[in-house]
Amino acid sequence: MPDTSYQEMINVKKQFFKTDGIQCFHAVQSFVKGEITPEQAHEIGIKLAEELWGDKFQVVVSTHLNTDNLHNHFVLNSVSFLDGKRFCNTKKDYSTMRKASDKLCEEYGLSVLKQEEKYNKYATSSLYKELMKDSIDYAIANAKDYNEFIKILQDLDYIVTDKNNTLSIRREPYKRNTRIERHFGNNYSKENIYKRILETQPQYPYSPDPYLLANRSYERYNNEKQKCLQYKGSISYLIFHYEKLLGINIEIVSKPNITKMTPELIQAIKKMDEFSKQVRFVCKNNINTELELLNYQKSVYEKINPLKSERENLWKKHKRGKTDEEKSSIENQIIEISKKITPLAEEIKHCNNIELRLEKIKKYELYQKLENEKKEFEKEQVRKKKDRVR
C-alpha cells in the first residue's frame, strides 16, 4: 500500500543489513494520447510490475494523469525481499522491460514503437553514452594535437561535427548528434579538450591496429594477475581474487581477425589496464593495509596541489598572452608541469578506485558471513526437527 510502502522497503533493507548505496530504481511506461483510460493504464502497469519483479522485489506502481500522455511510474526497492540480493540494473533489463511492455500493449490493442523509433530511443541509453565518453577519453589520451584527436574518433567510426565552437559526434545506427560538452560537462568543451591534449603526453604513439593493443594489454594484465595471486592477504591479492566473486572479472581473448578498434574493446582494455596498474601501484609502494593506502594518498595530495595551482596560473597567463611566441613558451612550461602532475594524479586515481573496491570486498565478505550463518541456522533447525521425530 502507498502509505506503508516506504517503511516496508526500509524494513527489508534492515533485515539484510543493506541500508546504504542505491535506495531504489525508477522506470516509466507511457502510452499514446487518447488510446487508453487511466484504469487500463494502471492495470497494465500492475501486470508489467508483477511479470518483471513481483517474485523478488517490492515495487510501487503509480499512474499519472498530469500530462497529455498517461504514464506509469515504477519505484523498485534496490534490495530483494526474497534473498537480500541487490537489483543489478543493466542494458538487458531495459530490453526485457521494453519487450514485456510491448507484449502487454499489443494484447490490449495499443500502439508500440517501431524498430526505427527504438533505435532513436537507444541514443539516450546510458551504455551508448558511457562508450562514447570512453572513446573521447581514449582519443584525448592518444592524440598529440587536436587534429589527431578528431582522426582517432573517426577511426572509431564516429561521425564528427565541429562547427561554431561546438563539437558533436554520433555512431551508426544512432541518428542524433550528441553535443559532448552538454552531455559530459565543461571538462569536454573544445577549450578544455585542447588543454587536456596538451597536458597529456601519450605513452605510445597512436596506432589504429586493435590487435596489437588488445594483445599487449591482455598479456600484461594476466602477468600481473599471476604474480599477485601468490601473495595472499595483501591488497593486491584481494584486487584480483575478488574480481570473479564480485562480477567484475575481465575475460577478453585477442584474435587475429579483429580488424577494427571499437568503443566496447576500448572499454574492456581500459578495465584490464586499470586493474594491472592498481596492482603495480600497491606493490611498488609496499602498500598492504587500508591505513597505509590512506596515508600514501594524503602525501600525494600534498605534492600535487601546489603544482596544479602553478599550472592554473600559467593557463591564465596564456589567455592574456599577446604573441604566438609568448603563448608557445607558456605552453612548454605547462607541459613540463603536467609531466610532474600526471603520475601523481594517476596515483590518486588508483587510491580512490582501490578504496571503492575494498568497500565492495567488505560488503561481499559480510554478505558471505550472513549467508553462512543462515545456512548453519537452517541446518540446525532441520537437525532439531529430525531429533523431535525420533
What is the per-residue pLDDT for 222?
58
Type of residue found at 274 = E
What is the per-residue pLDDT for 223?
59
178 Cβ contact list (under 8 Å, min separation 6): 123, 129, 132, 168, 169, 170
- Percent of the chain's residues with pLDDT above 90: 8
In terms of DSSP H, where are the helices of 53-164?
91-107, 115-122, 126-142, 146-155
What is the per-residue pLDDT for 239?
58
- Is residue 314 scored above 80 in pLDDT? yes
| Together in a domain, 279 and 352 | yes
Asked if residue 269 lies in contact with residue 141, where contact means CB atoms within 8 angstroms, the answer is no
- Is residue 47 scored above 90 in pLDDT? yes
- Dihedral, 191, 197, 199, 204 alpha carbons, nearest 10: 180
- Does any domain span residue 381? no
- Does any domain span residue 375? no
Q: Which of 299, 324, 318 is nearest to 199 (CA)?
A: 318
Average pLDDT over residues 134-163: 86
- Does any domain span residue 270? yes
Question: Which of 199, 219, 253 lies at the terminal end of a domain, its last residue?
Answer: 199
In this structure, of 79-83, 216-220, 235-239, the range with the lowest mean pLDDT score is 216-220
Q: Tell me the three cell numbers of residue 257.
A: 581477425
Per-residue b/e over 108-125, b at no fewer than 16 CB within 10 Å? eebeeeeeeeeeeeebee
| Segment holding 297, helix H or strand E | helix 290-320
CATH of the domain at 45: 3.30.70
| Together in a domain, 103 and 131 | no
What is the per-residue pLDDT for 76?
92
Contacts 24+ apart (CB under 8 A), 219-226: 220/272, 220/273, 220/276, 221/250, 221/272, 221/273, 221/275, 221/276, 224/275, 224/276, 224/279, 224/280, 225/275, 225/276, 225/279
- The Cα diameter of the chain in Å comes to 97
| Together in a domain, 332 and 227 | yes
How do 178-179 and 166-170 pair as beta strands? Answer: antiparallel
Neighbours of 41 (CB within 10 A): 24
Distance between CA 258 and CA 211 in Å, rounded?
6
Higher pLDDT, 323 or 218: 323
How do 24-30 and 71-77 pair as beta strands? Answer: antiparallel
- Is residue 290 scored above 70 in pLDDT? yes
What is the per-residue pLDDT for 169?
92
- Does any domain span residue 385? no
pLDDT digits 0-9 by tens, 378-387: 888 888 777 7
| Together in a domain, 239 and 338 | yes
Residue spans of beta strands (DSSP E) within the chain = 24-30, 59-64, 71-77, 159-163, 166-170, 178-179
Q: Which of 169, 180, 27 is nearest to 93 (CA)?
A: 27
Q: What is the pTM of this model?
A: 0.41
- Is residue 375 scored above 90 in pLDDT? no
Average pLDDT value for the chain: 78
Distance between CA 81 and CA 58 in Å, rounded?
7
Distance between CA 119 and CA 127 in Å, rounded?
13
Distance between CA 34 and CA 114 in Å, rounded?
19
| Segment holding 275, helix H or strand E | helix 263-284
pLDDT digits 0-9 by tens, 192-220: 898 888 887 665 566 555 444 545 455 55
| Together in a domain, 25 and 69 | yes
Q: Tell me the three cell numbers of residue 209.
A: 591496429
Q: Tell me the three cell numbers of residue 78.
A: 534496490
| Together in a domain, 271 and 353 | yes
Average pLDDT over residues 143-153: 86
pLDDT digits 0-9 by tens, 134-145: 889 888 888 888
- Does any domain span residue 384? no
Structural domain span for residue 27: 2-112
**Domains in the chain, number:** 3
Q: What's the order of all strands across the beta sheet hosting 71-77?
A: 24-30, 71-77, 59-64
| Together in a domain, 220 and 195 | no
| Together in a domain, 233 and 358 | yes
Q: Given pLDDT bands bounded at 50, 70 and 90, which one contains residue 246? A: very low
Higher pLDDT, 92 or 81: 81
Q: Given pLDDT bands bounded at 50, 70 and 90, which one contains residue 343? A: confident
| Together in a domain, 215 and 362 | yes
